[in-house]
């Protein structure tokens, strides 16, 4: 069984528990109290590199990364550093995240927020928007074509900007055919957790120029950002390097605006 399959199985179990406690109708009712979604695309399409800075405590490949007792404070540092968006990992079992982290970040910053999770149902999209997310991640490897298109359409109906994540050529072709405007190329294979930093350069030429490309994983500093920008990235998503840095604000600033 691949790592991705194991993670999604756990996500579905935790999701069933939340659904049993809070019906979808109740989650939808909370949408009435949420501010309008913030659009990250103008910043992403602007000159120089944009940074999606991630609040990330733990990962399946590296284990514990940082003891983040104040996600709102970290997000505020990211915002001061010029992050174009902030990603909040909400998966509990493997990443030690939660929707409470997202809510705390939302209360602290005006920057667009991405719910980073393994989204496989409509319920999770409504949860994301109700918690204040402006963006949602859909991982092509975790979804068949019908579910991918349905969730992509539902996310957009909710006003969410969708980051569609790919790892190989067939997945990239599916994302392009879907019409995804924002496509993330993850150098980490979620089935094995191996990282191949040549993945982005291999897949970027398959994506039309009118889409926005995000480089994910394998980014430790400005030199990596410069490489991915040369290969076609307009945005970089960075987690580990930022949460382990002693000065998150300066670290984001150093990766922003690279041309």
Strands 182-186 and 113-116: unpaired
CA pair distance 106, 49, nearest whole angstrom: 23
96 carries an active-site annotation: no
Give the E-state strand segments of the chain in sequence order.
50-55, 58-59, 63-64, 85-89, 113-116, 135-139, 161-166, 182-186, 212-216, 235-238
191 carries an active-site annotation: no
59 carries an active-site annotation: no
Q: Which two tokens stand for residue 52?
A: 């999606």
Residue-averaged pLDDT of the chain: 94
The pLDDT of residue 58 = 72
Exactly one of 127, 165, 240, 249 is catalytic; name it. 165
State the helix-helix crossing angle for 71-80 and 248-255, rounded to 10 degrees: 40
Report the SS3 class of residue 90.
coil
In sequence order, the 6+-apart residues with CB closer than 8 A to the CB of 144 are none
216 carries an active-site annotation: yes
How many C-beta neighbours within 10 Å does residue 16 have?
12
Report the SS3 class of residue 52.
strand
CA pair distance 122, 128, nearest whole angstrom: 10
CA pair distance 27, 15, nearest whole angstrom: 13
Contact between 82 and 253 (Cβ < 8 Å): yes
The pLDDT of residue 160 = 98
User: Which domains does the chain show, CATH number per domain?
Assistant: 3-255 (3.20.20.70)
CA pair distance 227, 198, nearest whole angstrom: 10
Q: How confident is the model at residue 1 (pLDDT cuts 50, 70, 90)?
A: low
Q: Which helix (H) or strand (E) holds 104?
A: helix 99-108
pTM over 0.85: yes
* pLDDT tens, residue by residue, 74-129: 999 999 999 999 999 999 998 989 999 999 999 999 999 999 999 999 999 999 99
Exactly one of 171, 216, 240, 249 is catalytic; name it. 216
CA pair distance 233, 216, nearest whole angstrom: 10
DSSP-derived secondary structure letter, 34: S
* pLDDT tens, residue by residue, 196-241: 999 999 999 999 999 999 999 989 999 999 999 999 999 999 988 8
For residue 103, give Cα distances in angstroms to 3, 27, 65: 28, 14, 21
49 carries an active-site annotation: no
Exactly one of 49, 50, 54, 189 is catalytic; name it. 54
217 carries an active-site annotation: yes
56 carries an active-site annotation: yes
* pLDDT tens, residue by residue, 6-61: 999 999 999 999 999 999 999 999 999 999 999 999 999 999 999 999 998 877 76
Exactly one of 49, 59, 76, 186 is catalytic; name it. 186
* pLDDT at 193 exceeding the cut of 90: no
């Amino acid at each position: 069984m691949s790592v991705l399959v194991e993670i999604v199985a756990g996500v579905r179990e935790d999701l069933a528990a939340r659904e049993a406690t809070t019906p979808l109708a109740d989650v939808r009712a909370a949408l009435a109290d949420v501010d309008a979604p913030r659009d990250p695309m103008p910043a992403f399409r602007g000159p120089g590199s944009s940074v999606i800075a991630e609040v990330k405590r733990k990962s399946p490949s590296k284990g514990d990364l940082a003891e983040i007792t104040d996600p709102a404070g970290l997000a505020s540092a990211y915002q001061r550093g010029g992050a174009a968006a902030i990603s909040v990992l909400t998966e509990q079992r493997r990443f030690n995240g939660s929707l409470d982290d997202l809510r705390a970040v939302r209360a602290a910053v005006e920057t667009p927020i991405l719910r980073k999770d393994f989204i496989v149902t409509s319920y999770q999209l409504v949860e994301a928007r109700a918690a204040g997310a402006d963006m949602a991640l859909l991982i092509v490897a975790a979804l068949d074509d019908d579910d991918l298109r349905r969730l992509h359409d539902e996310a957009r109906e909710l006003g969410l900007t969708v980051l569609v994540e790919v790892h190989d050529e067939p997945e990239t072709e599916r994302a392009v055919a879907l019409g995804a405007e924002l496509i993330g190329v993850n150098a980490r294979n979620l089935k094995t957790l191996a990282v191949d930093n040549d993945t982005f350069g291999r897949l970027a030429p398959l994506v039309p120029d009118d889409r926005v490309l995000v480089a994910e994983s394998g980014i430790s500093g400005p030199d990596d950002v410069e490489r991915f920008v040369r290969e076609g990235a307009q945005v970089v998503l960075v987690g580990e390097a930022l949460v382990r840095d002693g000065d998150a604000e300066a670290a984001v600033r150093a990766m922003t605006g690279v041309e």
